[in-house]
Chains A and B, each alone.
Chain A
Amino acid sequence: MSGASPLLPLAGPAPPPSLGTPVDACSIDDGCITCGDVAVALRVVEADAYDARCRDETGREEVVATDLVGPVAAGDLLLVHAKVALEKLTA
């Protein structure tokens, strides 16, 4: 898919930039990520020390910072809020 290139170089410097142009990620009318206290469960596909490429069951992928939950490995399930993992889930 054009533009969506979630495959980070999994070692080395921080994630490659992709410009945060205006997308209303969270609309007031339909609940929003921050004020709705939204978090989602994502499965780790590939991980390095600080980031993990994660996927949900519909195939959508996202790169997530894992500093707050310690080391993760492929197959782990994470609770993710605003691209940051808050908890490793046991399920």
Chain B
Amino acid sequence: MRFVDEYRDPELARALAAQIASLAEPGRHYKIMEVCGGHTHAIYRFGVHDFLPETIELVHGPGCPVCVIPMGRVDDAVAIAEQHDDVILTCFGDMMRVPGSTGSFLDANARGADIRMVYSPLDALRIARENPEKQVIFYAIGFETTAPSTALTLVRAKGEGITNFSVFCNHVTIIPAIKAILDSPDLRLDAFIGPGHVSTVIGCRPYEFVPAQHGKPVVCAGFEPLDVLESIAWIMRQFAEGRTEVENQYARIVPWDGNPQALRVMADVFELRPHFEWRGLGFISHSALKLSSRYAEYDTELRYPVPGVRVADPKSCQCGEVLKGVLKPWECKVFGTACTPETPIGTCMVSSEGACAAYYNYGRYAKKRMHVEV
């Protein structure tokens, strides 16, 4: 693959590790949040932790759109799929296991619903084209990386006059989530590794309020392990030089101004919801998208009676505090007892890349540097 091998070189990693260590002020502790699930994955997949001094702690952010979907939105879709025999509900594979209060999509399939995984919303549209007697719903999730794909699919559906297709829209936007975390009074974060591919679409300007209003650096980073290390080095250099600004480590992909054409299509197809509930973070204003009036005929929520199920996050769940870096996963009251990777309660345990699931699986060994030459 292009862009891969040159960003996985262990020699360069060691050089960056030395640079990071030399920039760290003795006695100072740094908490850096990687906002995006893709970065969390790279950190675990490649063992990026091993190249950081113990005083740099990485906090996993809310950037996994699957994990932030509240149970009620899963229940609503399950209800539509189970109550209408002609409905084919389609979604990305990562959505299948996410628990609702009446089970996951996988469970609903086992009870007889027709829920299929697709690789792209365009595939869902193709299923609609192939099955004119069925109603095909695409359960849309994701941040600004995925929202353009949904928007484009709707433009094509409308252009082709396909009527047996609709979108159950759960797209969320990254900036309000970062704001919600920054606005918390007990925040303990020092800097952010900014999303990579989300920024391809929205650009780097939307993060400028973070250094300007909150005095914290943001470095938009690529997804290879060297990208993550380099972005941490850039953050450490900002601290060392007394700067706080937005920097673009992923400039080979991310234009500073994003993709205006994608933003235009999104603005045509979507509009902001007044508020949307996030698992673990509660209601956040203007943090999610719904279909605009121009695409109202494709809005699943207008086409079907939606139960509008609200399942409150369990009181005992402290995901919000974990996300903000206030609590460590093991300090949560239900961690490892009521809340486990097999029976997750909160967002941080749902994905194996969530902060709590990662700690549950690896916590015992995270502290030990294991010697693994074989």
Residues of A within 8 A of B142 (CB): 34-35
Judge whether B67 is part of the interface by a CB distance below 8 angstroms. Answer: yes
Cβ contact of B152, chosen from A15, A22, A30, A67, cutoff 8 A: A67
The 23 sampled A-B contact pairs (Cβ below 8 Å) are A14-B126, A15-B126, A18-B126, A21-B116, A22-B117, A23-B119, A26-B94, A30-B45, A32-B94, A33-B94, A35-B64, A35-B67, A35-B94, A37-B195, A37-B223, A39-B200, A57-B1, A57-B2, A81-B149, A84-B120, A86-B259, A87-B259, A91-B252
Judge whether A2 is part of the interface by a CB distance below 8 angstroms. Answer: no
Judge whether B160 is part of the interface by a CB distance below 8 angstroms. Answer: yes
Chain B residues proximal to chain A, CB less than 8 Å: 1-3, 36-38, 41, 45, 63-67, 90, 92-97, 116-127, 129-130, 141-143, 145-146, 148-149, 152, 155-156, 160, 195-198, 200-201, 223, 252-253, 255, 259, 261-262, 265, 350-353
Given A20-B124, A79-B200, A81-B146, 13 more A-B residue pairs with CB atoms under 8 Å apart are A20-B117, A25-B119, A26-B94, A30-B45, A31-B41, A32-B93, A33-B94, A34-B65, A34-B94, A35-B351, A36-B41, A37-B143, A82-B146
Judge whether A68 is part of the interface by a CB distance below 8 angstroms. Answer: yes
Complexed CA–CA distance, A15 and B127 (Å) = 11
Are A14 and B156 interface neighbours, CB within 8 A? yes
Contact status of A28 and B198, CB under 8 A, knowing A65-B122, A84-B149? no
Chain A residues proximal to chain B, CB less than 8 Å: 13-15, 17-41, 56-58, 65, 67-70, 77, 79, 81-84, 86-87, 89, 91
Q: Looking at the assembled complex, report how far the CB atom of A55 sits from the nearest CB atom of chain B, in whole angstroms.
A: 11
